[in-house]
Chain A
């Protein structure tokens, strides 16, 4: 009964929820700018940067801190919104952004550039490799989904793509020419927002924006899917087209996210789960809310990474998994108690 009253209150205040989460993201974004390893007078740095003075402070801000915070927010938003979209499509709270295999393929694409040694020599080779991997997986999924297969087949295809990409990634490690390359690959796979410059941001932002738009536009159809595919169809939604739209949206947003930062787990799984009660379990409104929640979580995790004084720096994928897994356990425990 208590949760009922709470749910009602929240349902009426969807705009408030969105504004609140957006404010939280903004606050964490600013904190992320203020925190770093080098001491920085933020006020002076901003002043210098705005005035175009190439001082050290201004460079630290624009070349290091700003891209890092931006990437954190963009990637978090992508993971959160895609997780919500996949859970809506599969009608299953255990679906996550990587379920259709895009993440695994993107990681493989990036690892391939390490393996052939072009990651370090050609600028942006790494994210472009990741994007190429994601694109290949997307092509495969489109051929499948375009042939009119159901959601279950899409999941199975995702499992197949993920395990194949995982196997090839292991192969790259296995055949790696030197231990240095191995550690480089392994560390990259753990996920990090460090040392991604502005070019990375400019590369992925347009792709992510299109992906988000595709996913957000699917909101009403995902609401309709609550009652099953037949009912969604009877409400005027083309479920086949919806699948293509969501595969496309997930590929653009998560494919480019993984391509720049490596694999960051649990965000796309836990955030929609956590925020679902606040939008009364409506899959449509959950999309935007989940995106903002994802951005907040990754920004917070990245702040934590920099506050915990260990060397080498903790990888963000490690942190999200360490926080996420026990959290998931507590959710499962709660679900069990309710059932």
Chain B
């Protein structure tokens, strides 16, 4: 990771003094074909903040992220970008403010890495004009930040899975948006690359940008995010600092798992360990508060 390369030069100093609310969603409801998926979701991301969106499969994480990115409409509620609605901002300006990293990372044509990353500049390009100096600069920074500059001449067929994800992340960085919405950027990455990807997202927040990231890995979520939003049972089950959200009760309710907890060098961590006792069912309230408490003491993995 080349973290210190252009530090400061990218930071918009006017925004770092007090965190601005970049995206604010209030009372969002979404559904598919009349089937409600999410109700009464309130969520905000401020500049310099990393918000983790977690929850079991099918809990609506991607759906919510797509609503936040204005890729699909909400049935109810509003999403505001710096206080304005998407219509007030306009599609092109919104594209410059919000970068979206899709899940899966499909690339349909075998472009060179550099060319692919340059696609992130499309919202800034004027028709029938080549890349400007600012475009080239942004592409260069993105390539270095994501640590893929050495791959720039390769085609997408000539890179590994981990490199591919970093290249796609570089594409999103090249937008130089205020906010990055990333859908499972660590999926299909080995542990080292997962950590690298999360480090990179943290680096982005240090530049004063906001990040909303969908994660499946609770350990990464706990370790890297400033705040977590736990989606389950058709809404927000919990929202707040990781230690507030990732309680035994909530995890049992949301995922039906028990976790192991530990601490090392003053940093606490958790590890999904086994299926929770079968008593949560579809209970949507805290009826089973005491069932899972204290079942296991913190056990430290021997690493």
Interface residues of A, Cβ cutoff 8 Å to B: 4, 7-8, 11, 91, 217, 220, 223-228, 230-231, 233-238, 276, 280-283
Contact = CB atoms under 8 A, between A and B. Distances in A.
B108 interface: yes
A240 to B, nearest CB: 12
Nearest to A88: B109
28 contacts: A4-B158, A7-B155, A11-B112, A220-B122, A220-B125, A220-B127, A226-B107, A226-B109, A227-B107, A227-B116, A230-B69, A230-B71, A230-B102, A231-B102, A234-B95, A234-B99, A235-B119, A235-B122, A236-B95, A236-B96, A237-B91, A237-B122, A238-B91, A280-B111, A280-B115, A281-B110, A282-B115, A283-B109
A110 B94 CA distance: 47
B123 A235 contact: yes
Choose among B98, B115, B175 the residue with the greatest number of A CB atoms under 10 Å from its CB. B115
Q: Is the interface of A mostly helix, strand, loop or mixed?
A: helix
Interface of B: 66, 69, 71, 91-92, 94-96, 98-100, 102, 106-112, 115-116, 119-120, 122-123, 125, 127, 153-155, 158, 168, 171, 175
Given A4-B154, A220-B127, A230 B100 contact: yes
Contacts, number: 82
Nearest to A233: B71
Choose among A91, A235, A276, A280 the residue with the greatest number of B CB atoms under 10 Å from its CB. A235
Contacts of B154: 4
B91 to A, nearest CB: 5
Contacts of A225: 108
Contact of B111 (A217, A230, A236, A282): A282
Given A231-B100, A233-B71, A235-B119, A226 B155 contact: no
A91 B110 CA distance: 11
A224 B91 CA distance: 14
Given A223-B119, A230-B102, A4 B111 contact: no
Closest CB pairs A-B (n = 5): A236-B95, A234-B100, A281-B109, A91-B108, A236-B92
Nearest to B104: A228
Contacts of A282: 109, 111, 115
Choose among B109, B122, B168 the residue with the greatest number of A CB atoms under 10 Å from its CB. B109
Contacts of B153: 4, 8
Choose among A11, A236, A280, A283 the residue with the greatest number of B CB atoms under 10 Å from its CB. A236
Contacts of B122: 220, 223-224, 235-237
A224 B69 contact: no
Given A7-B155, A236-B91, A236-B95, A227 B119 contact: yes
B10 to A, nearest CB: 20
A234 B98 CA distance: 7
A149 B127 CA distance: 27
A314 B114 CA distance: 46
Nearest to A216: B128
Contact of A227 (B66, B98, B171): B171
A280 B158 CA distance: 14
Nearest to A276: B109
Contacts of B125: 220
A233 B119 CA distance: 12
Contacts of A227: 102, 106-108, 116, 119, 168, 171
Contacts of B123: 235-236
A235 B109 CA distance: 17
A93 to B, nearest CB: 9
Nearest to A1: B158
Given A220-B122, A231-B100, A7 B112 contact: yes
Given A4-B154, A280-B111, A230 B66 contact: yes
Contacts of B112: 4, 7-8, 11, 280
